[in-house]
Structure 1
Amino acid sequence: MSAPQSDPHGKIIGSGDFCYRVNMHWGQLDPTKVPVENCHDLAIDSQGRILMITDNVKNNIIIYSQSGELLEAWGTEFPGGHSLKVVNENGQDFLYVVDSGWLVNPKWDGVSTDDWDSPFNKVVAQSGFIAKLTIEGRLIYSIGHPQQIGVYTPDQPFRPTDIAIADNGDLYVTDGYGSDYVLQYDSQGRFIRSWGGHDNQDPNLNLSNTHGIRIDTRHAGEPHLIVSSRAEMALKLFTMQGQYIDTIATPGAYIGAPVIKGDYGFAPVCWSHVNGGTAVDSGFISILDKDNKVIVNLGGTQPEYIDGRLQPMCSTWDIFKHCHTVCIDKDDNLYVGQWRANQSYPIKLEKI
């Protein structure tokens, strides 16, 4: 097992129809002026601009041109900025921001990174929230702790991680660092229903570190939800009303929900499962076909199926650290944001 090479810039990765050139120089900025902590999520607006959310409160939102030039940087109100979606509503772009409640600790001891209960850990927890903003950053409304509407009890943590927005405006939120429910709201932020958690009689309904959610419209008929149950190394499929459909096992990969483009899904993997646990700097990108079969791993071992069962996957340790998000432009280039990657900016994978 080798350490990541210092600069894989220019390396060709992938196979078949999914080959990319690694561009490590895209989007590099002056960290003294426009710093990042983690590149938690990326999105593209109707103008083709690439927006990134980071949990550095000097500039929560960073906006790039597709050539990687800085256009804007703003926002201090999302210390746990974790997910960002752009939705065009009646010809106007809006932002949906998810703050997970994890924030960089001003009292960090400079050492502790995974001692979550320590008051001196680098990241400490508070309650999270969801906000809808104009594309310029003006607040329209926010959604807070579900205890406010009697859905959670006060002792249940709420630290949401991702959001998906349906065509009718309904919001689907994963509480992946909190109580592991999916919560559905209408377009005005009014609660509809929830499902998931840990204590269902049918274990298929349970979710664990449910980190991401997407709406899949690749099949005829009603769309359905793809929800990552990351700690289970699985994706779970549900109807838009929360009924369980199926589980897609992703052995060896702690995976986020795939971004859908055409017939394919592009899923960030934060860690590989090695020696019984999560391995440091072991992320990669899985590409799934229309039937959610993994066909390519970018920066990972190539998928192998034996008797219809996917065999354990793993990083090749030569490109990524911890892949947290993927977005795709009109030319099918990929942009990858990472967690715990030494405050690095996004990586561009240029389609060949």
Structure 2
Amino acid sequence: MTTRRNFIKNTTLATATTLSSSNFGFSILHQDKKAEELIIGHGDFKYKVDKSWAKISANSNPIFNCHEMVQDSKGRLIMLGDNVRNNILIFDKSGKLLDFWGTAFPGGHGLTLTKEGGEDFLLIVDCGWYQDKTGKWNPQAGQVLKTDLNGRVIFTIGHPRTIGIYKDNQPFMPTETAVAPNGDIYVADGYGSDYIIQYNSRGQYIRHFGGQHNANKEHNLYNAHGVAIDLRDKNNPVLICTSRDENCFKFFTLDGKFIKRVDLPGMYVCRPVLDAENIYAGVCWSKDANGQKLGGDSGFVTILDKNNKVVSSPGGTAPTYKNGILQATLQATNPIFQHGHDVCVDEDKNLYICQWNANHTAPVKLTRV
């Protein structure tokens, strides 16, 4: 993988004149004056942008929002969206559409791959928010489903009030799941009541934590949009939870005890995606130089190293630390992404970026150089 990346990088640099804007993490490479390529990122994490990677027709396979993507054991890339004509789109790495299914998830939002007995399964989260024909967003109760890769439902996890842990008027609009090594399922109620709810592998309730009413405020979560199992220390697995409105990740033990937080100023991060020693995340919104939250074509991607230090923010400004503290990361002057929502990492360390509210566009591929 490293040799392949170095070959691409050296070939690109040898045949191009670079017009650089390093503060904003992108370059325009003119190759033989016939084509333009956009290179974004920082340090050892730089990427060539391919916005036309997915080879699909808007007529036959329409998209509202690309929410999340995972890679299965066969190397296929499985995307979840919220268009009920085809909630699930399955691609190969060239962007060719291999299969599609799903007509029952108008709020299709969270997608997690889990393996049992050598077989792949999906945990699909319908957050409850759905977009009608007029473009208006409407709320309803969410749900979590376990399916096989063909869409056969194994079981569902419904509203927590059915087991007495939520009050009747308490909203449940889940956004994400994560699966521990023992099979326990963690559900992030990121658009509802901001709890992380832990179930066993059969969907039976164990405990919940988080929310917004803890005596120790560090235990609180505000827009608990994502959750992931961190196995970088195999002897000490932990849970990483997104507190998006606080621009941070919070780390908990697997039984819900707060450990620490990692602040990401300026970044409204989505779920953490673990690959080798790194954490990747889509940034759905970012801020301007005055610290104001941006709308419109906002957001980028961020990458953390094994020490949870930001090393690259493709589509955003270069990460800067002063006295060990990360300074606010802003988006590039010329936006590359429209609400970065998820990152899928393949075996060559290329990235596939799902975007929300991005004019019905397919995922963007970032080829590592």
Question: Do the aligned partners of 1:256 and 1:267 also contact (CA within 8 Å) in 2?
Answer: yes
- What CA distance in whole angstroms lies between the structure 2 residues aligned with 1:211 and 1:310? 22
Paired residue type of 1:315: Q
Contact 1:34 1:58 in 2 (8 A): yes
* Partner in structure 2 of residue 297 of structure 1: 313
The reply to whether residue 265 of structure 1 matches residue 282 of structure 2 is no
Give the Cα–Cα distance (whole angstroms) in 2 for the partners of residues 257 and 248 of structure 1. Answer: 14
**How far has the Cα of 1:307 moved from its partner?**
1.2
Equivalent residue number for residue 137 of structure 1: 151
Residue aligning to 2:90 = 63
Q: Does 1:37 align with 2:64?
A: yes
Pair 1:133–1:9, CA change in 2 (3 A): farther
Pairing partner for 1:170 from 170, 179, 184 = 184
- Counterpart code for 1:186: N
Q: Is the 8 A contact 1:9 1:25 kept in 2?
A: no
Sort the Cα spacing of 1:335 and 1:239 in 2 relative to 1 into closer, same or farther, 3 A.
Answer: same
Unaligned runs of 5+ in 1: 111-121
Query: Secondary structure in 1 aligned to 2:313?
Result: strand
Distance 1:91 1:9, change over 3 A: farther
Query: Is 1:48 matched up with 2:72?
Result: no
Matched position secondary structure for 1:298: coil
Query: Matches of residues 75-154 of structure 1 in structure 2 within 5 Å?
Result: 75-106=102-133, 108=134, 122-154=136-168
Distance across 2 between alignment mates of 1:334 and 1:55: 21
Secondary structure, counterpart of 1:133 in structure 2: strand
Question: 2:41 matched to 1:24?
Answer: no
State the distance in 1 between where 2:48 and 2:143 align: 37
Q: Residue 241 of structure 1 aligns to which amino acid in structure 2?
A: D
Call closer, same or farther: CA 1:278–1:201 in 2, change over 3 Å.
farther
Q: CA deviation at 1:12?
A: 1.0
Structure 2: how far apart are the matches of 1:267 and 1:177? 18
Unaligned runs of 5+ in 2: 1-23, 27-34
> How far did residue 142 of structure 1 move?
0.2
The aligned residue for residue 113 of structure 1 is none
Q: Partner letter of residue 307 of structure 1? A: N
Give the superposition deviation at 1:277: 2.7
1:228-239 aligned at under 5 Å gives the runs: 228-239=242-253
Choose 219-228 or 235-244, whichever is displaced more. Answer: 219-228
Identity %: 47
With over 3 angstroms needed to count, the CA separation of the structure-2 counterparts of 1:194 and 1:9, relative to structure 1, is farther
Structure 1 moving runs of 4+ over 3 Å: none
* Residue deviations 1:166-218 (CA, integer Å, cap 9, x gap): 11110011100000000000000000000011111111011011100111111
Q: Is 1:339 the counterpart of 2:356 in the alignment?
A: yes
Structure that is richer in helix per residue: 2
Please state how far the C-alpha of 1:28 moved relative to its aligned partner.
3.3
The 3-state SS of whatever aligns with 1:277 is coil
Q: Classify the secondary structure of the residue corresponding to 1:147.
A: helix
In 2, the alpha carbon distance for the partners of 1:201 and 1:49 equals 45
TM-score between the two structures when normalised by the length of structure 2:
0.88
Aligned-pair CA distance for 1:105: 1.9
> For the residues of structure 1 that align with 2:165 and 2:180, how far apart are their CA atoms?
22
The change in CA–CA distance for 1:71 and 1:240 in structure 2 (over 3 A counts) is same
SS of equivalent to 1:148: helix
Question: Aligned partners of 1:231, 1:278: CA distance in 2, in Å?
Answer: 13
For 2:346, the equivalent position in structure 1 comes to 329
1:74 counterpart = 2:98 = no
Which residue identity is paired with 1:343?
Answer: H
CA RMSD of aligned residues (A): 1.6
| TM-score normalised to structure 1 length | 0.92
Give the drift of 1:220. Answer: 4.9
